[in-house]
């Protein structure tokens, strides 16, 4: 998985392409090829994907940045960012505006759009702030029986306070949910409560809209694995070997009990909840009420394994494709026969996730209505953030006028945050592709310190020089590196475990991966004597 990936074009001008990408920082995306050649142009990146509806998760942008990402030529822009946390979460959905003679002109008209999943957030209409659920001209509907405390808005507002969902209704009767679902990376009780409540409300809202006759596209980072075959760590933990001829059906037939336990694990109820929404769960009876098709799995089938969409950056597992599949594009089962193509794009760099896409034939949609009279929703970025007339900072008060500079450090692709259901608590945690504890290690190899920015300050030059001197002094006194089982020099690490904290050891330089994978670590280990 290297080099610059070429994305296949759509199959015909009447096909609608949906693309989902957890970018883990929209600014960081443009540090990588081919995006680094696009002059930070979102439109150029959308054209690269040949996307009609494209959604990003983990924008990690702040209010001052919306003026850049919210104004994209020839696209409607809908962006939600956290109400309190800065540089965290955030989702965006952009919808192409085709020319009037284009086959998709009517289908892609945006009828309504909302921020959040509950309908309790507000939008300005006629100079007044109104809740989506209270204004039929703005709200999409489906707010009934969401399981929220209707006597107190705090619960709903807390769920929608982190910039995790944008909902867009298209004229072709598709309601698009772009989500960045909570992961509970901190493994806290409050975080798990928030996560499950969020999923419960999200899935109920989708079912309500389906009952109203809407077709659904649920796309984004759902932060849940649906099956055992979708998580490398689970396969490894159960000593399930994958060869070039192994298929998902083979594994689920041979290890049927393990596959069942993975989905129904009481400590991971998010997997069961996701499977209940699908039409093809492996659990008998659980998919009887399923309404959504896992489009990637539907097209690629279970013959294809290791179809991962996220990898652990700290452990550098992407080169050996040791990850999890938690990014999806799920489609109403009624549109299953209109699916043309669906796949992941693992060669596209720029994040710890990779993009996912779906092409559907638009001929399910009957054209002919007068959509020229449809007004652009007030949640569109130019209205929501008043991008037409003044600086974005003017809307948020003088306290935000101070110029905000980017961090000296590049955004870390492994960083994440766990949500808590109590508004008074939040924590930043390391995010990996699995829920197991991440063991910190200090990697010491060579003395080169690479410059990551376009320029470097005099202060940073001094830091680099000092660091190089220290590393050179340190490395001159190290014993000669032994050879690992690959026959290459091992690298030196420092243990951070409680029993051997600070003790140095040699290990294979290759990343961890499936056992037997020659491109992965050989398991070499030797304490420094």
Task: Output the known binding site for Mg(2+).
Answer: 22, 58, 221, 223, 352-353
Binding positions: 22, 58, 221, 223, 352-353
| Distance of alpha carbon 184 from alpha carbon 438, whole angstroms | 14
Max alpha carbon distance in the chain (Å)? 79
Q: What is the dihedral of CA 357, 362, 364, 366, to 10 degrees?
A: 150
Catalytic residue set: 180, 221, 353
Contact 209, 150 (CB under 8 A): no
DSSP strand pairing (356-361 vs 339-344): antiparallel
End-to-end CA distance of the chain: 38
Contact 329, 18 (CB under 8 A): yes
Question: Residue holding tokens 């990697």?
Answer: 443
SS (H, E, C) 66-115: HHHHCCCCCEEEEEECCCCCCCCCCEEEEEECCCCCCCCCCCCCEEEEEE
Contact 479, 426 (CB under 8 A): no
Contact 305, 242 (CB under 8 A): yes
Enclosing H/E stretch for 231: none
| Distance of alpha carbon 202 from alpha carbon 168, whole angstroms | 14
DSSP string, 395-423: GG-GGG-S--PPPSSPPPTTEEEE--SST
Q: Report the side by side order of strands in the sheet with 327-332.
A: 110-115, 165-170, 174-180, 215-221, 327-332, 292-294
Sequence-ordered list of residues with C-beta below 8 angstroms from that of 519, at least 6 positions apart, any chain: 319, 320, 510, 513
Burial class (CB in 10 A: 0-12, 13-18, 19+), 268: middle
DSSP strand pairing (53-57 vs 15-22): parallel
Q: Which two tokens stand for residue 262?
A: 């993975």
Question: Residue holding tokens 């504890």?
Answer: 437
Sequence-ordered list of residues with C-beta below 8 angstroms from that of 314, at least 6 positions apart, any chain: 414, 430, 432, 438, 440
């Amino acid at each position: 998985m290297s080099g610059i990936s070429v994305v296949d074009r759509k199959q015909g001008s009447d096909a609608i392409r949906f693309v989902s990408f957890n970018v883990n920082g929209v600014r960081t995306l443009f540090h990588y090829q081919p995006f680094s050649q696009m002059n930070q142009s979102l439109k150029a990146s959308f054209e690269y994907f040949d996307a009609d509806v494209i959604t990003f998760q983990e924008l990690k942008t702040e209010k001052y940045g919306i003026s850049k990402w919210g104004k994209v030529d020839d696209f409607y822009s809908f962006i939600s960012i956290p109400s309190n946390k800065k540089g965290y979460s955030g989702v965006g959905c952009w919808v192409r505006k085709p020319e009037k003679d284009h086959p998709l002109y009517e289908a892609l008209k945006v009828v309504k759009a909302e921020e959040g999943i509950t309908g309790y957030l507000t939008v300005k209409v006629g100079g007044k702030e109104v809740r989506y659920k209270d204004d039929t001209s703005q709200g999409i509907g489906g707010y009934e029986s969401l399981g929220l405390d209707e006597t107190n808005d705090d619960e709903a507002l807390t769920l929608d306070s982190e910039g995790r969902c944008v909902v867009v209704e298209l004229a072709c009767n598709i309601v698009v949910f772009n989500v960045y679902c909570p992961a509970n990376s901190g493994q806290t009780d409050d975080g798990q409560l928030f996560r499950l409540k969020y999923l419960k409300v999200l899935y109920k809202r989708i079912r309500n809209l389906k009952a109203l006759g809407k077709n659904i596209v649920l796309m984004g980072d759902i932060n849940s694995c649906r099956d055992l075959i979708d998580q490398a760590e689970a396969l490894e933990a159960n000593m399930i070997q994958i060869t070039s001829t192994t298929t998902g059906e083979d594994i689920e037939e041979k290890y049927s009990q393990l596959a069942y336990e993975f989905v129904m694990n009481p400590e991971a109820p998010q997997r069961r909840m996701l499977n209940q929404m699908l039409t093809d769960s492996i659990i008998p009876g659980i998919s009887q009420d399923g309404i959504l098709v896992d489009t990637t799995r539907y097209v690629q089938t279970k013959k294809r394994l290791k179809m991962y969409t996220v990898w652990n950056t700290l452990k550098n597992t992407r080169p050996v494709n040791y990850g999890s599949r938690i990014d999806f594009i799920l489609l109403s089962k009624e549109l299953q026969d209109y699916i043309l193509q669906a796949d992941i794009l693992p060669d596209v760099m720029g994040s710890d996730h990779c993009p996912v896409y779906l092409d559907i034939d638009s001929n399910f949609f009957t054209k002919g209505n007068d959509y020229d009279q449809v007004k652009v929703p007030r949640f569109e970025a130019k209205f929501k953030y008043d991008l037409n007339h003044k600086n974005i900072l003017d809307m948020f008060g003088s306290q935000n006028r101070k110029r905000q500079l980017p961090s000296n450090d590049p955004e870390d692709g492994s960083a994440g945050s766990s949500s808590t259901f109590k508004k008074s608590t939040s924590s930043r945690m390391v995010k990996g592709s699995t829920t197991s504890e991440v063991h910190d290690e200090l990697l010491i190899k060579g003395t080169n310190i690479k410059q990551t920015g376009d320029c470097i300050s005099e202060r940073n030059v001094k830091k680099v020089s000092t660091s190089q001197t220290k590393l050179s002094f340190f490395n001159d006194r190290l014993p000669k590196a032994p050879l690992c089982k690959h026959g290459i020099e091992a690298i030196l690490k420092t243990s951070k475990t409680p029993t051997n904290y600070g003790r140095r050891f040699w290990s294979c330089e290759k990343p961890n991966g499936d056992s037997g994978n020659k491109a992965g670590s050989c398991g070499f280990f030797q304490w420094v004597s």
